[in-house]
Amino acid sequence: MTMEEKIFRCAIIDFSRLEKFGFVKSDGKWTYDELFMDGDFRAAVTITPQGSVTGTVFDTSAEDEFLPLRVENMEGFAGEVRTEYQKILENIKVNCCRINYFTHPQTNRLTQKIFEVFGDKPVFPWENYDAGVFKNPENGKWYALIMTIDRSKLDKKLSGEVEIVNVKSDEAKIPELHSQNGFYPAYHMNKKNWLTITLDESVSDDVLLKLIDESHTFTLRKHKRCR
């Protein structure tokens, strides 16, 4: 996955904002140039009609592509160029995109509903790890954890990435829920008090929201946190 793909992974280009930001439309594509690092480098960013973002950085002294840009974990001067280019991409993302926190449509629907009901947005406590936590702001207790994992973590017979949500539930209900499609023993959580649900349309939005509401209720009581 390229640097651009990572940064714009959950972003939806709002084409109505591009011209105001400085993009120019030509041959159906939108292009944007910006000089940085005192004009020594030029970022050239292109957005296709499908919303795909690509970019190239040029050394302006010779107008050659700066190839070290694509070397991850690069330190020193090349690392500084990479960091400054990433800031340009992030600025485009903030000003020209609508943000989906996650990848799967059901996950984003659930995220929106949680905000509408509880007023909470996900926080991402782990850098470089695709996981969002919903917690009661009054006491910091978690009631939902959304993350991307490989299906083999839930069932060794399966493979491929899937987004999941971990919710807290009544111990008496959990064994019965495990027998239903889309429900699994909690991944990376206390299995007595939590369960994992795949966000791939296996479970309806209504059922998910009911379970989220029940999980949120636990944050209102004086229960010992089970994380």
**SS3 letters for 176-196?**
HHHCCCCEEECCCCCCCCEEE
**Do 71 and 124 have their domain in common?**
no
**Do 180 and 162 have their domain in common?**
yes
> What is the torsion angle, in degrees rounded to the nearest 10, for the CA atoms of residue 79, residue 85, residue 88 and residue 93?
-90
Give which of 168, 103, 89 is closest to 131, Cα–Cα.
103
**Do 180 and 147 have their domain in common?**
yes
CATH of the domain at 199: 3.90.1150.30
**Do 115 and 79 have their domain in common?**
no
Residue 224 inside a domain? The answer is no
Last residue of a domain, one of 99, 117, 134: 99
Q: Please give the residue range of the domain that contains residue 49.
A: 3-99
pLDDT at residue 223, rounded to an integer = 47
pLDDT at residue 129, rounded to an integer = 65
pLDDT at residue 227, rounded to an integer = 42
Terminal CA-CA length for the chain: 32
**Do 80 and 28 have their domain in common?**
yes
pLDDT at residue 221, rounded to an integer = 62
**Do 112 and 88 have their domain in common?**
no
Last residue of a domain, one of 99, 129, 153: 99
pLDDT at residue 211, rounded to an integer = 97
Residue ranges of the chain whose pLDDT lies below 50: 223-227
Residue 226 inside a domain? The answer is no
**Do 89 and 177 have their domain in common?**
no
Residue 223 inside a domain? The answer is no
Report pTM: 0.62
**Do 123 and 214 have their domain in common?**
yes
Last residue of a domain, one of 48, 68, 99: 99
pLDDT at residue 73, rounded to an integer = 78
**Do 129 and 210 have their domain in common?**
yes
**Do 129 and 211 have their domain in common?**
yes
Print the SS3 string covering the chain: CCHHHHHCCCEEECHHHHHHHCCEEECCEEEEEEEECCCCEEEEEEECCCCCEEEEEEECCCCEECHHHHCCCCCHHHHHHHHHHHHHHHHHHHHHEEECCCCCHHHHHHHHHHHHHHCCCCECCCCCCCEEEEECCCCCCEEEEEEEEEHHHCCCCCCCEEEEEEEECCCCCHHHHHCCCCEEECCCCCCCCEEEEECCCCCCHHHHHHHHHHHHHHCCCCCCCCC
